[in-house]
Amino acid sequence: MINKVTAKKLLLISLLGVTSVLGSCDKPADNNSLESIASEFTIASNKTFAENLDLDNQQDFEDATRGLVASAPTDIITNRQGQKVWDASAYDFIKGAAPDTVNPSLWRQAKLNNIRGLFKVTEGIYQLRGFDLANITLIKGQSGWIVVDPLTTLETTQSAMAFAEQHLGEINLSGVIITHSHIDHFGGVLSIINAQQAADKGIPIIAPSGFMYEAVSENIVAGPAMMRRGAYMMGNALDRSATGHVDTGLGKQVIFGSTSILKPTVVIDQPQVNLNVDGVEFEFHNMPNSEAPAELTFYLPQFKAFCGAEILSHVMHNVLTLRGAKVRDALRWSDYIGESIDRLEDVALLFNSHHWPTWGHERIITQMQQQQDMYKFIHDQTLRLANIGYTPKEIAERLKLPDTLAGNFHIRGYYGTLSHNSKAVYQHYFGWYDANPAHLNPLPPEQSSRRYVEFMGGAEALLEKAAAYQAKGEYRWVGEVLNHLVFAQPDNIAAREMLAEAYRQMAYQAESGPWRDIYLSAAQELIRGEVKANNVAMSSKAFLQEVPLLEFMKALSVKLDAEKAEGERLKINILFTDSETNVVLTIRNSVMYYKLLPLDESADVTLSLTQKLFVEILLGEVGIKSLISSDELSVDGSAVKLLKFFSLLGAAQDDFNIVLP
């Protein structure tokens, strides 16, 4: 390990052209006392952005403010425990010219996403924007209102709907439409209606085919890892400031509150389904494996209005989201937009699940064609280069949108980027392996990093060389080499602080909101040395209780700890008394199987309880030991075997290391 004097010397060398106030090198500095300004290279990069874009163009601002009925309040929204869920006032700093520490193009998008309130889109259609990451759309029917896309959480949806009622009168629900399987479009649904109310009143809950399967797959089966990665992508732990989180590009931020889900009563499972919902004619179009695995769009002939869901947005979207998800099909995405264009002969209004609408037939078709061309360009050019031998990193470095596309703000890389979208297209066709044998079975990061440091002449030599590149503004290279040193020597404070500064400068240059947040989140954890866990499982109880049993069991099976389960053979009946449904769980060879079957007499034990109680046990709200002798459940057979089963389930973890080994 290098000494304090050398560490301080290296930091001064590395920060030539950058003013920073750093803490002691004995430990990472407290982030609250660390300020970092833009380097001369970052200022130059951002200046180039400003010079090459028409940042003064006001069309988007005119569209984003058109039809404003009332600006949204800035009241802090809290959950039942009094914890802050959403504070719009945290973004009051976003005004005026872009500061040096924010890409000016991203700053423009952040200002647009700061325009919040209730908007009259056209007679009979309203939108609530800026209450959450996504929009709620309200469509007036004959007897009530059709709600499109309840938001992420119960709290934000309730707040948005209450605000709408202040200006539109009582919102009598006559239908619910969920456009796709991402949680920011359905998580708040139980704040406006539940299954019993929908059945009693005959209110349709409309969603695309595969909605429940995909919603569960994305939010539960792979939930903890996505939550941790998503916290980086969305800047969850960052300050809202000119040196912190400013915008996601898609909206202000992801909301962490109480979530829910509701099984649809009407499933759109054909390419086109025409329905009358409370006197309003809908032409639904099923578009699976586009922006989401389950997604629909719809056209409203009487309004000449098209809802593009999230297939269309005022951004270049993600072909593969950085939080992790199933890779999307860019070609099919493009084709769906083309099919929509062919149908929309008289469209006069385009509104989507995010951002602001577009008015006017010619403008709408032009916008849609440009989005269609963008996704097909990414697809076709990635394949062209792959087919002549280029690898993902090489393709990402070579690709450049044609000027006829690049100058349009609605396809700028505020959310997705040309770089990581081209890599996603490559992955869609070829997987993770780029055909170079050196990449087939490399050493894991900690082992390879120690060898890299040795090859580079040791920690001190590596730091001196990295500092020289840092002083030249070559932050990408500094990030690459110092990542090896940090993984080889996680306690090397000079390496961590220099790497954090490189990440900050890359963040300040990033046009993409997620890229900015990822770099800044990494820098913060390198300096603070601690991870903020999201701990949202308790808030998801309403979600888990609505999940179909087999999907719930799928999520349970991936919690089995294979090492603990080695050599164990168990068979357990779980009888859910509220539905009189029995699931037979079998464990063999460190694998869990689950089937809906009658009670198996050969099972080691039968556990009888409600699904609600089972969820509470798995969330840790109640202990299984204390319940075994209670009246809330019954155990028939070996209680020891039952305890053994629960002991084999690994705990979910959303605070694992990313930038440290």
The H helix count followed by the E strand count for the chain is 24, 21
pLDDT for the residue numbered 532: 65
pLDDT tier for residue 10 given thresholds of 50, 70 and 90: very low
Share of the chain above pLDDT 70, in %: 92
Please check the confidence at residue 404 and state whether its pLDDT lies above 90.
yes
What is the DSSP-derived secondary structure letter of residue 637?
E
Q: Is the pLDDT of residue 3 over 60?
A: no
Q: Which residues pair with 177 in a beta bridge?
A: 148, 206
Is there a contact between 283 and 263 (Cβ–Cβ < 8 Å)?
no
- Residue 438, pLDDT score: 95
Q: Grade residue 25 by pLDDT with cuts at 50, 70 and 90.
A: very low
What number is the average pLDDT over the span 5-11? 40
Give the mean pLDDT of the chain: 90
How confident is the model over 620-654, as pLDDT tens digits? 777 666 666 667 788 999 989 989 998 998 876 77
**Dihedrals phi, psi of 363, to nearest 5 degrees:** -60, -40
Pair 445, 487: CB distance under 8 Å:
yes
Weakest mean pLDDT among 6-15, 36-45, 508-517: 6-15
* E strand or H helix at 367: helix 361-386
Please classify residue 143 by burial: count the beta carbons closer than 10 Å to its beta carbon, then call 0-12 exposed, 13-18 middle and 19+ buried: exposed
Question: What's this model's pTM, rounded to 2 decimal places?
Answer: 0.91
Give 198-240 pLDDT, tens digit per residue.
Answer: 999 999 999 999 999 888 776 677 777 888 888 889 999 999 9
240 DSSP assignment: B
The stretch 9-19 carries a mean pLDDT of 38
**Residue 335 confidence (pLDDT):** 98
* Whether the predicted pLDDT of 412 surpasses 90: yes
What gap in Å lies between CA 278 and CA 256, rounded to an integer? 33
Give yes or no for residue 527 having a pLDDT over 60: yes
* Minimum mean pLDDT range among 248-262, 355-369, 643-657: 643-657
Between 71 and 6, the higher pLDDT residue? 71
Residue with tokens 């703000």: 409
pLDDT at 17 over 60: no
As a whole number, mean pLDDT of residues 333-351 equals 98
Q: What is the pLDDT of residue 219?
A: 66
pLDDT tens digit sequence for 606-615:
999 988 888 8
Residue ranges of alpha helices (H) inside 346-492 are 361-386, 392-398, 403-406, 418-430, 445-455, 459-471, 475-488
pLDDT of 109 above 70? yes
Contacts 24+ apart (CB under 8 A), 42-47: 42/100, 42/101, 42/473, 42/505, 42/508, 42/509, 43/100, 45/509, 46/98, 46/100, 46/102, 46/103, 46/104, 46/508, 46/509
Residue range 530-555: mean pLDDT, rounded: 71
Find how far residue 521's CA is from the centre of its chain.
15
- Mean pLDDT is lowest, of 150-164, 224-238, 563-577, for 224-238
Q: What is the mean pLDDT of residues 175-197?
A: 96
pLDDT for res 578: 87
Question: Average pLDDT of 565-569?
Answer: 95
pLDDT by residue (tens digit) across 300-325? 999 999 999 999 999 999 999 999 88
Q: Which residue has the tokens 């010397």?
A: 9
Give 272's DSSP letter.
Answer: E
- CB 497, CB 463: distance < 8 Å: no
Q: Which one of 209-213, 269-273, 553-557 scores highest in mean pLDDT?
A: 269-273
**pLDDT of 422 over the 60 cut:** yes
Question: What pLDDT band is residue 540 in, cutting at 50, 70 and 90?
Answer: confident
So what's the pLDDT on residue 625?
63
